[in-house]
Amino acid sequence: MIDRAETPSVLRESAVTVFVNSAAGGGRARFYLTKIQKLFKSFHVQAQFVMTKSAAELESSAQNAISQGRRALFAMGGDGTFQALANAAFGAQVLLGVLPVGGGNDFAAALGLPDAPLKAADAILRGEPRFVDLLRVRTAEGRIRLYAGGGGIGLDAEAARYASGAYRRFPGRSRYIASALRALVGFVPLEVRVDFPGSDLIPQEAKALVVAALNSPTYGAGLRLAPGATLEDGSVHVVLIEDIGTIGVLRLLPRLMGSGELRTSRVKRWQVRKVRLTTQKPALFHGDGEILGSTPVEIEVVPGAVQVLAPSPR
């Protein structure tokens, strides 16, 4: 049995509400639910598990819980699931957690959590409160939304559309790679302008496959677009991949699945506080694999936006 003193004080003082997105990870949440419930009991943590059918339902349930005075709220799902919880909780004095059972889990990885759901839950229950950044996007439709890990326009947004549709039940990274390869078929590169409001950086114009705006070092289940990014660096990490063609993409993928170190002038990176993306024709923008709207979009960092329970930063 775990010593109760090993758990953070907030978990000893109040019950945790765990919102379970039953649709996340092709149903993986249901598979791990009983085991995670037992783990919480072994830590002497009181927890109420609330089943939801979607991220949208989870967000609404979390808002209700906050209005009722709940102080510790966890999301059991993927990056999109945590995005829903973060938007519900932003501005409230609450502690958040993520139990990663989704398809991507890049935000959880950036927190230093293991891939295995039970090991991740164990790490959280032994963790400590940390304030982390989020990114805030304003779309052409006027929608304002926080997202946790990575977002962008171009090939990755089209891949996100497939990943949440026809390829939804593919496991882990294979879901995103298969979706990206499918999105390549007939994809037309974007004529894009990248502006950096409040910065001395020169605006960029390019024919691009992808323009990503990241908070975490990876997205798409481990593609390392921004190797130096952390969740506490107060920055938007912008990555522009020029039109390198299908062969170029196939050559690039293994490097992105590895260290993320690229020796090519066709990939450009910037670290800023705010970025604006404008395209010749409207293009979809995704955040954490969820389609959030279309261009033009403006993305900015929100430093220390939420408090999460996680291992200490390395």
Assign residue 26 the CATH number of its domain: 3.40.50.10330
**What pLDDT sits at residue 150?**
94
**What pLDDT sits at residue 187?**
83
> What's the CA gap between 288 and 233, in Å, rounded?
19
Q: Which CATH number do you get for residue 196?
A: 2.60.200.40
Q: Tens digit of pLDDT for each residue in 127-153? A: 999 999 999 999 999 999 999 999 999
Verify cis geometry, omega within 30 degrees of 0, for the bond prior to 296.
yes
> For residue 9, what are the domain limits?
4-126
| H or E element that contains 34 | helix 28-42
Indicate whether 114 belongs to any domain: yes
**What pLDDT sits at residue 261?**
67
One domain for residues 57 and 176: no
Q: Tens digit of pLDDT for each residue in 175-205? A: 677 777 787 777 889 999 999 999 999 999 9
Q: Would you call 183 helix, strand, or coil by DSSP?
A: helix
7 closest CA partner among 128, 132, 130: 128
One domain for residues 148 and 107: no
**What are the residues whose beta carbons fall under 8 Å from the beta carbon of 308, sequence distance 6 or more?**
95, 96, 97, 98, 111, 129, 130, 131, 132
* Pairing mode, strands 95-100 and 297-310: parallel
One domain for residues 246 and 143: yes
Of 126, 148, 163, which residue constitutes the final position of a domain?
Answer: 126
> What's the CA gap between 231 and 313, in Å, rounded?
9
- Residue 188 phi/psi, 5-degree rounding, is -105, 120
Indicate whether 78 belongs to any domain: yes
194 closest CA partner among 298, 273, 301: 298
What is the pTM for the complete model shown? 0.90
pLDDT tens, position by position, for the chain (314 residues)? 445 445 566 676 678 999 998 877 667 778 889 999 999 999 999 999 999 998 889 999 999 999 999 999 999 998 999 999 999 999 999 999 999 987 778 999 999 999 899 999 999 999 999 999 999 999 999 999 999 999 999 988 888 877 666 666 666 666 677 777 787 777 889 999 999 999 999 999 999 999 999 999 988 777 888 988 999 999 999 999 998 877 777 777 667 666 556 667 788 999 999 999 999 999 999 999 899 999 999 999 999 999 999 998 87
Indicate whether 308 belongs to any domain: no
**What pLDDT sits at residue 131?**
97
One domain for residues 140 and 101: no
Count of C-beta atoms within a 10 Å radius of residue 122: 18
Indicate whether 264 belongs to any domain: yes
State both tokens at 237: 């990490």
